[in-house]
Chains A and B, each alone.
Chain A
């Protein structure tokens, strides 16, 4: 019956491996349904975290926002922005802050210059920064600012050369490889002393941040939407010309996802205003999703929450521990039987660090060959208990996770109705059913395919019936002890600690099960001390 152990190990490897591949696959996917069904039959283009201002032209958008945002503080000048007048449009719309602590120097001229200048124009409009345009070798508006002010130059040296800045005292250039990158840089940049930059960084957990999104080609639409800089504190960001968003913007947007501690009705809330028609629905879906509030523990799908990160490290250490034990035992412990090696490997998968420590401690000891090819190691009672626990836990606990995963994948059966009501109504609920199923199926599989053949090979003189009964009792009791810790912790994690129960494609589901298994082992260890004492389990193999 030697075939049973690798079959069990393969099943565990296959199901959990499938789960992990599925998890990574879904995290890598961006908008897989955008091209097929997602847009079918849509009546409007707004979504919960993205409002689209669909427009025929910059002039059309300008006219619309004149009435949609009627507040004097945010109003632009009456002339519509165009490629020719965009500098004048901005200067005529700007209310300069008399106490401004900085001046902004920007490239002027053509539409390309507008695309580079626009992110800074948004901040200037919000704050009231004096703006100087560099165009055809001239600094337009230079006469309005003093040399004492900190000057910020946006754009490359080809656009605004260093030599024209020589009479400014303090000059700082902020540049990037593209307008898209420059916009992101400015969204994150902040100098408190000069009060320049939005300072909307990754670690800003508070703050109501809105964003206007356009493309460099549609920068004029972005300029027409500049009232949002005042009314909604909106920074300007750019999508790509093909309608998609860059990896950098994707990263930034996910960093702007706000968490919640008590309920998702807590602030802050963040929002995108799209003003370019060419931005794709896939990009909209992605950005809408990126800003969706999520609970602190996991930060929702794709993003990595603090608790999730911590437990993921635990989980990854488990994989590393299993690899270490498997490879080490293959090369250095030829006298250990394959089922035992598999047991140690699977246990180490769920017992990061502790698994390898116990493994090394178990085999760095004197050993003797009691029969042909049958070795025994001399171990303390505690160490024997640990080994005995590992032999049950190594197969049983991963099997419980496998059963749990299959149930989560296909959904829990539930039972309800008048007949189920009363003190034990909860026995019809999904989570208890999952726990009971995890225990029963794992015990049955581990008993039939692992513990029975293992005991049979160790006690060839005993009758099959007696071995079978003994294996069932020890497996059931040992797994019960594991379950005591494992189920309590998984209930605590899924039903209490984590506000939204993680799904099968959530790393927190796997990581929580890993943590629960670890605690399950710690609970089962002392129980196995008794099994060793009563000689119901071997502890020196």
Chain B
């Protein structure tokens, strides 16, 4: 009997020995020509959010084996607030999930369904081996995923994003047996609230900390509930995304009852993204006699040798799933640019972290992903970014330092 087991086990192992030869991998892919690569940037040229999300999951997850496929998949409608929150709370380990979108008519397109099939989720051990997290996805679409792909789906239904944040918080705590004490807080009712929050959202996709919403001038009850669940020595550590024009000082002070409040913000969304890339908060969190656990929030990157996810904040739905690039592979913060220019704050940041030669056999290198097609970020902007990321000199371009005052080139009345 035991002999048969040995034979079966040995047979399994022998048949498992793999190979890498195969047909040419550099075949024709529909968007390959648009996926322009320079020395230090590669463009992921999605023409719409749905396609962008697929490009991102294809880039991060080759899916040739279990270890480079996904843990799970996040499925969400094209609703910025839902997608933003899902990326903040679900993507990171132990879930390990990219975000895919429903079509604009709230159904799963054939392209997305095929991508879901390609991704072959391993299932989340800490959650009954769930394969898909469907956030506000219509029931018939969930059934489709279950029946066609045979995946295990956990659904979250909550129309109010503020309350949904609380639901996701409770679910995450069950995964990790912990409520992470650091909480990113963004304004849901400010038009630029999420744009300021894109950078910290990237950190959450990278490190899996907490998230809650506030209104510009008030704190909702669901957020108070989230904050009260934290047991750090100072309660929660809150990181407000945006200045007092986005989240008022009144709100900041009210939040102060529940812990330490910090802001990650600049005068505009581009500056906020640059501040976030360099932001680091560390120090005391929680300790007991023998063990202690510091807080450590933010990328804190102020030196060469890192990677960035660069895109246009106006294409919010495309930028949100791009945070998965900070979760695997090149792991770096999100920086924001305009379609045809690199705003001063972003350019100054990149100049600060500019690479240089570090030894006879090497140069320290930076790298960036460019999100979106050329209408989102032009080729010229990609080239400018490449130069900023490079270890080579930047030709003097004084125009980058001009203020936003009206141009003097034409005579005014």
Question: Which A residues contact B (CB, under 8 angstroms)?
Answer: 17, 21, 24-26, 28-35, 37-49, 51-55, 68-74, 127, 190, 195, 197-200, 207-210, 227-228, 231-233, 240, 242-245, 250, 262-265, 267-269, 271, 274, 276-286, 288-289, 292-293, 300-302, 408, 410-418, 420-421, 425-426, 428-432, 495, 500-501, 503-505
Residues of A within 8 A of B25 (CB): 39, 45, 52, 243, 274, 277-284
A-B contact pairs, 18 of them (CB 8 A): A37-B117, A38-B62, A44-B45, A44-B58, A47-B62, A48-B328, A71-B39, A208-B364, A209-B362, A232-B40, A267-B306, A269-B305, A283-B21, A285-B62, A288-B68, A412-B125, A414-B174, A430-B175
List the A residue with the shortest CB-CB distance to B10: A21
Tell yes or no: B363 within 8 A of A by CB. yes
B38 within 8 A of A: yes
Residues in B with CB closer than 8 Å to A34 are 20, 22, 64
Shortest distance from the beta carbon of B11 to any chain A beta carbon, whole Å: 10
Bound complex: CA of A437 vs CA of B247, how far in Å?
A: 46
Nearest-Cβ distance from residue A464 to partner chain B, whole angstroms: 33
CB atoms of B29 and A412 under 8 A apart = no
Contact (Cβ within 8 A) A43 B55: yes
Asked if B191 lies at the interface with its beta carbon under 8 angstroms from chain A, I say no
With A233-B365, A285-B62 given, is the CB distance from A44 to B35 under 8 Å? yes
Q: Does the CB pair A47–B59 fall under 8 Å?
A: yes
- Cα–Cα distance between A300 and B331 once the two chains are bound (Å): 16
B383 within 8 A of A: yes
Name the residue on A nearest B329 (C-beta): A48
CA–CA, A246 and B330, complex, Å? 25
Contact of A411 among B13, B125, B383 (CB under 8 A): B125
Q: Which 7 pairs from chain A and chain B are nearest by CB?
A: A30-B18, A48-B329, A285-B64, A277-B26, A244-B21, A280-B22, A411-B129
CB distance from B93 to the nearest CB of A (A): 6
Question: Closest chain A residue to B367 by CB distance?
Answer: A269
Contact status A43-B177, CB under 8 Å: no
Cβ–Cβ < 8 Å partners of A495 in chain B: 177
Count: A-B pairs, CB below 8 Å? 325
Expressed in whole angstroms, the Cα–Cα distance for A245 and B21 within the complex equals 7
Question: What residue of chain B has the Cβ atom nearest to residue A47's Cβ?
Answer: B62
Q: Are B174 and A428 in contact (CB under 8 A)?
A: yes
Q: Return chain B residues, CB-CB under 8 Å to A505.
A: 66
Q: Which residues of B contact A243 (CB under 8 A)?
A: 20-25
**Best-buried of B20, B45, B383 by chain A (most CB within 10 Å):** B20
The complex places the Cα of A513 from the Cα of B123 at a distance, in Å, of 22
Docked-complex contact B67 and A430, CB < 8 angstroms? no
Min Cβ gap A198→B in Å is: 6
Shortest distance between the CB of A259 and any CB in chain B (Å): 13
Q: Which of A25, A51, A282 contacts B42 (CB 8 A)?
A: A51
CB-CB contacts of B152-177 with A at 8 A, as 1s and 0s? 00000000000000000011011111
Which residues of B approach A to under 8 Å, CB–CB? 5, 9, 12-13, 16-32, 35-40, 42, 44-45, 51, 54-55, 58-60, 62-69, 93-94, 111, 114-115, 117-118, 120, 122-130, 170-171, 173-179, 206-207, 229, 296, 299, 301, 305-307, 325-326, 328-333, 359-365, 367, 383, 390, 392
Least CB separation from A410: chain B residue:
B129
Q: Which residues of A contact B328 (CB under 8 A)?
A: 48, 292
CA distance A242 to B22 in the complex (A): 7
Q: B22 and A244: CB pair below 8 A?
A: yes
**Bound complex: CA A212 to CA B325 (Å):** 22
Q: Are B206 and A265 touching (Cβ within 8 A)?
A: yes
- Partner of B32 from A30, A44, A412, A503 at Cβ < 8 Å: A44
Whether the pair A210, B365 counts as a contact (CB closer than 8 A) is: yes
Judge whether B174 and A416 touch: CB under 8 Å.
yes
- Beyond A265-B331, A421-B229, 5 additional pairs, beta carbon < 8 A: A29-B18, A44-B44, A263-B207, A414-B171, A430-B175
Asked whether, in the complex, the Cβ of A504 is within 8 Å of the Cβ of B125, the reply is yes
Contact yes or no, B37 A430, CB < 8 A:
no
Q: Is the CB of A228 within 8 A of B39?
A: yes
Which A residues lie within 8 Å of B130 (CB)? 411
Chain B residues, CB < 8 A from A302: 67
Contact of A413 among B27, B128, B170, B177 (CB under 8 A): B128
Query: Hey, which chain B residues are within 8 Å of A283, CB to CB?
Result: 20-22, 25
Whole-angstrom CA separation of A187 from B94 in the bound complex: 36
Q: Is the CB of A195 within 8 A of B360?
A: yes
Q: How many whole Å from B45's CB to the nearest CB in chain A?
A: 8
- Known contacts A269-B307, A281-B25, A416-B173, A42 near B58 by CB under 8 Å: yes
Complex formed: what's the CA distance from A35 to B129 in Å? 25
How far is it, in angstroms, between the C-alpha of A262 and the C-alpha of B298 when the chains are bound? 12
Known: A24-B13, A274-B26, A281-B25. A38 touches B118 (CB 8 A): yes
Q: Are B176 and A429 in contact (CB under 8 A)?
A: yes
Greatest chain A CB density within 10 A among B19, B64, B118 is at: B64
For A269, the chain B residues whose CB sits under 8 A away are 305, 307, 330-331, 365, 367
A114 to B41, CA, bound (A): 29
Is the CB–CB distance between B63 and A37 below 8 Å? yes
Tell me whether A280 and B23 are in contact (CB under 8 A).
yes
Enumerate chain B residues within 8 angstroms of A271, measured Cβ to Cβ: 367
Instruction: Provide the residues of chain A in CB contact with B19, threshold 8 Å.
Output: 30-31, 244, 282
Cα separation A301 to B68 with both chains bound (whole Å): 10
For B125, give its contact among A42, A55, A426, A503 (CB under 8 Å). Answer: A503
C-alpha spacing A74/B393, complex, angstroms = 13
**Distance of A239 Cα from B60 Cα, bound (Å):** 22
Q: How far is it, in angstroms, between the C-alpha of A31 and the C-alpha of B17 when the chains are bound? A: 10
A496 to B396, CA, bound (A): 49
Bound-complex Cα distance A200 to B38 (A): 24
Of the candidates A24, A418, A429, which one forms a contact with B173 in the assembled complex, judged by CB atoms under 8 Å apart? Answer: A429
**Bound Cα distance A285, B67 (Å):** 10
With a cutoff of 8 Å between Cβ atoms, the chain A residues found around residue B93 in the complex are 500-501
Partner of A265, one of B58, B62, B332, B390: B332
Does B39 lie within 8 Å of A29, measured CB to CB?
no
Q: Is the CB of A265 within 8 A of B64?
A: no
- Using A195-B360, A289-B67 as known contacts, say yes or no to A282 and B22 having CB atoms under 8 A apart: yes
B64 — which chain A residues lie within 8 A by C-beta? 31-34, 38, 281-282, 285-286, 289
Assembled-state Cα–Cα distance A301/B64 (Å): 14
**Contact yes or no, B20 A414, CB < 8 A:** no
User: In whole angstroms, how far apart are the Cα atoms of A282 and B332 in the complex?
Assistant: 26
- Interchain CA distance A307-B20 in the complex, whole Å: 29
Query: CB distance A41 to B114 under 8 Å?
Result: yes
Q: Which residues of B contact A501 (CB under 8 A)?
A: 93-94, 125-126
A33-B120 in contact (CB<8A): yes
Cα A198 to Cα B31 in complex, Å, equals 35
Chain B residue with Cβ nearest A289: B68
**A420 x B128 contact (CB < 8 A):** no
User: Which listed residue, B13, B171, B305, touches A267 by the CB 8 Å rule?
Assistant: B305
With A265-B332, A280-B24, A411-B126 as known contacts, state yes or no: A45 contacts B62, CB within 8 Å.
Answer: no
Minimum CB–CB distance from A526 to chain B (whole Å) comes to: 21
User: Which residue of A28, A45, A286 contacts B16 across the interface (Cβ within 8 Å)?
Assistant: A28
A265/B301 in contact, CB under 8 A: yes
Q: Identify B114's interface contact among A40, A127, A198, CB under 8 A.
A: A40
A37 touches B363 (CB 8 A): no
Q: Which residues on B sit within 8 Å (CB–CB) of A263? A: 206-207, 331
Residues from chain A with Cβ under 8 Å of B28 in the complex: 54
Closest to A218 in B: B26
**Contact (Cβ within 8 A) B170 A267:** no
Flag if B120 contacts A37 (CB, 8 Å). yes
Contact B60 A48 (CB under 8 A): yes
Q: Give CA–CA (A53, B36) in the complex, Å.
A: 9
A260 to chain B, nearest CB (A): 8
Does A28 contact B17, Cβ atoms closer than 8 Å?
yes
Are A44 and B31 in contact (CB-based, < 8 A)? yes
